[in-house]
Structure 1
Amino acid sequence: MNPILQAQKSHKSIRQYTDQNIDSALLEELIAAAQGAASSSFIQAYSIVQVTQPEHRQQIANLAGGQKWVEQAAEFLVICADLTRVEYCSQKQGLGKLEGQTEHFIAATTDATFMAQNLMLGAESVGLGAVFIGGIRNDPQQVAELLALPDQVYPIFGLCLGYPDAEPELKPRLPVANILHKDQYDTSRCAADVEAYDAQMQAYYASRDSNQKQSNWSEQTAAAVQKKKREHMLGFLQARGFLKQ
């Protein structure tokens, strides 16, 4: 199989790392490669904050719900949607400040996410392990203050990078037939698709070598979305200049 396709299919979230550091030149090369990701109108509306101070890492780990791997990983990066340069360009060209348009929020968020996925894939290709940390959105205001993020910038998620000290089992993804629709969206198959995938995931959770549990995909998914609503996010984003109209 093509090595890129194989790498894409082999992703595992890594939360245990050795003490080996990541060479700074390698990290910069990974970030440069990640910048090859697609960008909406080439605005490149993202920035990365490399968090090196142990006390800051500890605070973020606690804010994220006690995720100790934030402290333990060789590198911890915060991926941000960033419209500061875009706004400067707009003012420089006499077109005024940004006005919190939803479209601009979407463009910046997708730009940053595309770049971050490229970064993770590149890291995995050189033997590193990684995991995204959405828990920083538990208290994004504190994270923003800790990192001195200006208006028009918000932290989307964190990224732990390091050399793996564990080899978790690969989770089976939804079958392609479940997510691929031809010409029109087919709602009629949703229940059957979920029931079949629930059975597959229940067997996976029960059979894996470590952290066995009796659960399935719909149970995990429902809990993930209904217990992590983070209703503070809209007000936080609007206060930083996003989603005003």
Structure 2
Amino acid sequence: MNETIELLKAHRSIRKYSDKPVSREIVEQVIAAAQMASTSSNVQAYSVVAVTDPERKQKLSQFSGNQAYIVECPVFLVWCADLSRLKNAAQHHFPDSESYEGATENFIVATVDAALAAQTAAIAAESLDLGIVYIGGIRNQIQQVAELLHLPELVYPVFGMCLGYPDQEPGLRPRLPQQAILHWEEYDSAEGEKQVALYDEMMSKYLRDRTGGAKDTPWSRLMAEKLTMPSRLHMKEFLQQRGFKLD
């Protein structure tokens, strides 16, 4: 095994940070690494807003379900899918032509670009002994987040990322068995279901050990509960209002 693979396999979400500051230079190094992530056709359809102001972090925390670690982390990164640059380029070079920057395909490209860059940043950060946790909760009140950060049309916040030096040592959360997600030649639904059953047992034990027996809900039950509860149903309308046609 090599050092990079060991680093990747040691990933843990960090939700408690020391008071050690993260310098602007470190943030710029992390983002420089992120910029080298794969990007579809070199469109680089993402932007990052780095937030360090305590008052602004407090508001972002409130918009995200009052997650305290947004306030406590030294730097909060908001990763945005950004098609505004592409629209500007089209208007500049082909002002008389119709452009399709808001189409569903470009929405997917921008969202994937943001995710690829963010995960590359996460790896870079962890290589510098920093810790991160992704915050999907910024989509809870996404309009307020967009207004707070002055995001233009065709830009939406995909997720946030806390960044700082860890002040905790959480254990590794077990993942699905590889046989559940790696299929050779064709998709094997039967094997997938078998592996989920095995994972349910693994996660039940993990939760019992972690909570002293207070919880042991199987993973598939947790996912079923998640999917049968409405979640952020405002997203489609928000995206359409920001210029994403999703067609």
Deviations 1:117-166 (A, max 9, x none): 00011101110010000000111101001111010100000000010000
Q: Does 1:138 align with 2:140?
A: yes
Structure 2 gap segments, 5+ residues each: none
TM-score, normalisation: structure 2: 0.94
Task: Spell out structure 1 runs of 4+ moving beyond 4 A.
Answer: 209-212
Could you tell me which residue of structure 2 aligns to residue 14 of structure 1? 14
Equivalent AA in structure 2 for residue 202 of structure 1: S
Contact 1:90–1:98 under 8 Å retained in 2: no
Deviation at 1:214, TM superposition (A): 2.1
CA distance in 2, matches of 1:38, 1:21: 30
Q: Does 1:34 align with 2:34?
A: yes
Paired residues in the alignment total 245
Distance 1:212-1:128 versus aligned 2 partners, 3 A rule: farther
SS of the residue corresponding to residue 119 of structure 2 reads: helix
Contact 1:99–1:244 under 8 Å retained in 2: no
Distance 1:233-1:219 versus aligned 2 partners, 3 A rule: same
Equivalent AA in structure 2 for residue 12 of structure 1: R
- Aligned counterparts, 1:114-133, within 5 A: 114-133=116-135
CA distance in 2, matches of 1:38, 1:110: 10
- Aligned counterparts, 1:1-245, within 5 A: 1-94=1-94, 95-208=97-210, 213-227=215-229, 229-245=231-247
Deviations 1:93-123 (A, max 9, x none): 2144435210000000000100000001110
Deviations 1:62-108 (A, max 9, x none): 12111000000010010000011111112222144435210000000
Structure 1 gap segments, 5+ residues each: none
Contact 2:37–2:116 under 8 Å retained in 1: yes
TM-score, normalisation: structure 1: 0.95
Percent of aligned pairs sharing the same letter: 47
CA distance in 2, matches of 1:198, 1:133: 25
Contact 2:107–2:246 under 8 Å retained in 1: no
Contact 2:181–2:192 under 8 Å retained in 1: no
Deviation at 1:190, TM superposition (A): 3.2
Contact 1:169–1:208 under 8 Å retained in 2: no
Of 63-72 and 214-223, the range deviating more from structure 2: 214-223
SS of the residue corresponding to residue 130 of structure 1 reads: strand
SS of the residue corresponding to residue 49 of structure 2 reads: strand
SS of the residue corresponding to residue 141 of structure 1 reads: helix
Contact 1:16–1:164 under 8 Å retained in 2: yes
Contact 1:128–1:162 under 8 Å retained in 2: yes
CA distance in 2, matches of 1:32, 1:211: 44
